[in-house]
Amino acid sequence: MRISGFTMVRNATKYYFPIKESILSVLPIVDEFIVALGKGDHNDRTREEIGSINSDKIKIIDRIWSEQDFIDGKIFANETSFALSQCTGDWSIYLQADEVIHENDLKKIVQCCSDHLNNSAVDGFLFNYYHFFGDYNHYLPFHGWYKNEIRIIRNNINVYSYKDAQSFRKDQNQKLNVLPVDAHIYHYGWVRPPELMQSKKKEQDSMHHGKKKIQEEYESKPKNFDYGAIGRLPVFKKEHPKVMDDFRSKISWTDQLDYSRKSLVVRDKMKHEKFKYRLITYFENLLNGGRDFSGYSNWNKISISKK
């Protein structure tokens, strides 16, 4: 059995992505790791950061991002699909540049892939998520923040990246048949210095709505992103992946965060800040074991009978 890893990335070091840590987190269990590396800005050192891993498993493929695809996140899906097309494994593990897997989950991931290698009914595996916000001690187990996503797919079944590269589909817009795996993706996309968070958000919004429109929109926005009242978020009491130890130790912006339980934000409220979503979350935790009553579900969850 061969397992591939793959990602697409650009300007990772400029915008504080833990790309090195992301790749390292799965490198022990993959036979290759494909990186579709977009040409970054002059002050970006993503290639050097990935190269410092010094592994012959890693294959970097240079890419030029087309500005014609800077609408609705199409460029992210295109680059992800390209990286997937270069994978040669039986299974392919996808990690975005701000996603990391815990070392304690690697063994069970390999076991799932091995157990279902010859079961064509299984197109992939569904992971749980931890979304961190502001710092590494607070996270977002709230309705409206996706709690699951497909991160392992069977290779050579016409799978492609879906929409803005959050998920996958196959053939002609068919949902994948997946099994849940008892493992988490640690998502650090909302943990950055406030100034870089705002810059990264501007860059990503440009990929969805066009550079000109977003440039004009951000002229009236503050320089730093407002994380709001961090004190209202639950505290993460479990361990982070070890590969993140050094990266997490570099945090230098806690004095810019508001650890109170109530603050006035001038930006539009995010979902976890809105009363509606907090109320839904309360009842989901009370009555449904924290699972969503309804919402995002881009897959067909299947079950395997035990003999």
The domain in which residue 64 lies consists of 1-302
pLDDT in tens, 85-114: 999 999 999 999 999 999 999 999 999 999
Spatial CA neighbour of 80 closest among 147, 163, 16:
163
Whether the pLDDT of residue 307 is over 60: the answer is: no
Backbone angles phi and psi of 68, in degrees to 5: -65, -20
Burial 45-59 (b: 16+ CB within 10 A, else e): ebbebbeeeeeeebb
Q: What is the pLDDT of residues 217-243, one digit of tens each?
A: 898 889 999 999 999 999 999 999 999
Report residue 195: phi and psi, to 5°: -70, -40
Q: How confident is the model at residue 306 (pLDDT cuts 50, 70, 90)?
A: low
pLDDT band at 305 (very low <50, low <70, confident <90, very high): low
Residue 99, domain member (yes or no): yes
CATH code for the domain of 48: 3.90.550
In a domain, 243, yes or no: yes
Q: What is the pTM of this model?
A: 0.96
Domain count, the chain: 1
Residue 127, domain member (yes or no): yes
Question: Between 263 and 11, where is the model more confident?
Answer: 11
Cα–Cα distance list, 123 to 100, 150, 256 (Å): 22, 10, 44
* 168 belongs to a structural domain: yes
The mean pLDDT of 246-253, rounded to a whole number, is: 98
What pLDDT was estimated at residue 195?
97
Residue 147 lies in a domain: yes
> In this structure, is residue 307 part of a structural domain?
no
Determine the Cα–Cα distance for residues 27 and 3; give it in Å rounded to an integer: 10
Which has the minimum average pLDDT: 41-45, 188-192, 292-296? 292-296
Instruction: Give the percent of the chain with pLDDT over 90.
Output: 81
Round the average pLDDT of the chain to a whole number and report it: 94
Q: Retrieve residue 258's tokens.
A: 């508001």
d(CA 215, CA 202): 8
Does 145 fall in a domain? yes
Q: Is residue 202 part of a domain?
A: yes
